[in-house]
Structure 1
Amino acid sequence: MTVTAPVLEIDVKPLPVEGRPKDFSGAIGKFEFSATGTPERVKVGEPVSMKLVIKGSGNFDRIGQPPLDEPQGWTTYSAKQGFSGNDGAGNEGAGTEGVKTFDLPVTPTVAKATMPVFAFSYFDPETEKYVTLKSAPAPLTVEGVPVIAAPAPATANSTVTPTAEPKTPAVQDILANLPDIGKASAAFGPSLSPAVFFSILGAPVPLVFAFIAWRRRRGDAKLARAAALRRERAGMISQVKNAANRAEVFDAAVKAVRIVAQIENGALPDDDAAALLGSRKIDAETQKSLGEIFEARTELLYAGAARGDDRISDTERDRVMEAIASFEKSPRR
């Protein structure tokens, strides 16, 4: 016996183009959206841990990381995603009821008064309209000065004539930069301004010796500080060479760059990539490589990545070493 089912006609309508939000990723259904962040007080450059929650019914597999509604003054990173379906099978397909979460760090680059606001858009098949939901702007205190963008590397069209740099012999490893003691002069002359120099000549002998001792102590302290920084840098370079996972390698690399910059520029913020990279005239490739290292380090430290199992390859380690070496050999600004 043959049984024939009645023919069902299905009217499939394309999603309307009119009114489609820019951040629409294909989510269709009924959803609710919320976001929470901690802590409520940070400094510029410190991350706020955001948790985005989307719950409802629909095709969760088409829901990607919601974007910032106003991205100015924020730096976002890749989120750790999670999904819990009511059927317990983890199916994110059409018609599924459940909850999808996104955990990610967001770093303020300027002072802010509220938590970052995220937007999520979906299509409601009942009303046949697009809906955009935004998270509530919860209070947040951000202290500190704004992060200044690193200067862009010189291009071929630049009108500035670069200063010829002396040739540097090829090296097999990263060398520490010696402090610049200035150009040698064939003529004898005082290292102080004429007014100070001649005032010292006219001062009593004990004052002259006291001044000389003060200058010597200040010079000794400066040299001792530079020597301590070089020892610290050597330790960081050793960690870059020997650490097993990416988080430790990238963390040591960022600290090594900071130490190299501090040897000649004084104290600089640990995580201020713009200030650190801007302390030297680095080429575009080095700036790109170091920028990626800074970003990867922040993600691994704050995004909840599995640090113990995230081993680094020899190729990636060599790339990190080359970027640090290029930074060290670049001239100071």
Structure 2
Amino acid sequence: MTRLFLIAVALIWAAPVFASDDISIRATASPDRLPPGYSFRLEITVEGKGIHSLPDPNMPRLKSFDITGRSSSQQVSMSGLSITVSKTIAYRVLAPKEGKFQIPPITLAYGGKTYKTDPIDITVDSSAPIPQSQKRRARQGGPPFSGFLDPFAAAPGAGGGSFFDRRSRIENNDLMVKMDVDKKTATLYEPIIATFSFYRAVQLWENPNFTKPEFEGFWAESLPFEDGKNEQITREPIDGKNYIVTKVRYALIPLSPGKKIVDQATLSISEGPWSERIRLKTKPIPIEIRPFPEDGKPINFSGAVGKYTISSEASPATAKVNDGMTLRLTIKGEGYLKPAAVPLKPSIDGMEVYDPKVTDSVDKSGGSIVSTKIIEYPMIPREEGKKRINPFTVWTYDPDSGKYILLKTSPIEINILAGPTGAKAADVATRSLIAPLKADILYIKPDKDILEDFGAPLHKSWFLWAILLAPFPVLAIGWAVAERRKRFLTDKVYFRSYHAAKTAKAMLVEAGKIKEPAEFYAALDKAVRGYLADKWNLPAPSITKQLVKKRLERSGAENSNGIVELFEAVEIARYARHEINNMSLHLKKAGELIEWMEKHTV
């Protein structure tokens, strides 16, 4: 029985040897006539008889379209001793603008032969019917409040266009974002609380990606709510529709006076595995930061802004001569204390006081900023007796009252006892031992003003050894060059990866010379996709956002969101209908992407 089974298996696997290869490839587009801003399905089917596996077809560059999704399936069937393999690859292709276009023949190389499909004509016309699966993309009304940013309207700085015409299921006011601040006018170092709110009235296919603002000109830190949680989730009805509201908060500390901007926060969502990502942005918020008022400003103002208390203590309160002590000053209250200056170290008769150790801490557990600054001065008493430490004074500024407040500690009494017997004598003896050593260090004067060099033996000459060893580095360099050239000729993967950065940077330089936005972003997209394709040894058309994100997340790269957002920005800008002002920014980001990829293994 075992012998019959082995014979059957051998005949099945040997069948392709005796069968003649029969490969066919065809491609279809559905629909082939559609309005701009909608997608069609490009399906490529490859069938082969008498073979065990099929290679992937070579997808040509679609200059007038953008591939936004890809899926594939494979089926194997057997009839008698004949094996048939069928592979289907489907692309979701976005048609951004009107016109008549043609998809070039798609080729497949196998067994020394090249197979290809017929070209496909695509008509993009505003009068064309909307594809059946995308009919719910009609826009219905605007956002409920002026305080919310319409997530499907043209985003500032994105070069125009509309996110609304890329959705198929989410309605116009189902998703909204908003950024609020508790004050739009503040004093330098006065805390400002910024709250980001995400409103959703539908279930999401995945967790959204949130990018907080840069908060330029502020020190920013996440601020928990009163219950200690970093996120607050509530339900809120708006215009008869129930929303789930997710909020996060940030504490902003202005670091310089003047006009500041809380920039846009961005949240991106995908409503399905093959859907375009929807990007929602908040409105920028202007904030005026006032300097400290000069009227009544103390000369020794510390820079502390808020409501504080101050205390001081000496530990221990009773010590012996030459023992260590600590003078501790504590400032605590609601506000931001890190920029506050440290009081000068006190001068105490009979005490040596050293530079302080400063510890700053911030407690955010109660939903507000409570800062603590602990200043510790090490001290060593040198004389016995009762000592008095004068009060510390610290000037602060209260932004609520607009006044400078003087904080003052109570004086501290400490008692210094006599040290161990003979301590002073030991100290004097130690000094007497050190003093005679100075006399032993005498200047040694040479007997000649100029010392002459009468030369060295030939075998110690550096010139001789340089001549003898010179051929070895030359041989090593020649061997390295030959090995690299050999690898270039035999290792295609290494060749593509080695030249990827140089080729891409050259393409970015050429792209930077293009003034026309559509041509510029086409060139930028070609450079970035070509670079990633060379680094990963893949065909350029297969480089999609989903593939890039998956590979970066699998490798644990921290910059995955930034790279995917660059893809999205280029995609949006290529098909923008308004003026574009951020071409130089995207060119810079593309260059930074290449530099980052060269430094990291992805």
Shorter-chain TM range is 0.3 to 0.5
TM-score, L = length of structure 1:
0.37
Higher strand share: 2
Q: Could you say which structure has the greater relative contact order, defined with CA pairs below 8 angstroms and 6 or more residues apart?
A: 1
Structure of greater Rg? 2
TM-score, L = length of structure 2:
0.22
